[in-house]
Amino acid sequence: MPEITITDTDGRRATDQILDVREDFEVAEGMIPGAIHIPMGELNTRLGEIDRTRPVIVICRSGNRSARVADALTGAGYTADTMAGGMIAWQRAGLPVS
């Protein structure tokens, strides 16, 4: 499962899907603008919300959950990466949140 940097993620936001798999209480602190929020535990029942024809960048708080989800998506036929450092790194870099 490829791991990409926050800089790569920021540059690919216009073309790739950003999938935030954090819990609701975590997302309340802010998420990447335009990201799709599907908590990790709901992924199996909401998989249809993700466009299989576009690459997916999976985000969580620190990178652990997103790595597992990216592996599962890849196994299900999606092109998926995980963002190194998660939202902690994104916010530390001063990148936008909504």
Which residues have a catalytic role annotated? 60
Q: Is 95 exposed, middle or buried (0-12, 13-18, 19+ CB in 10 A)?
A: middle
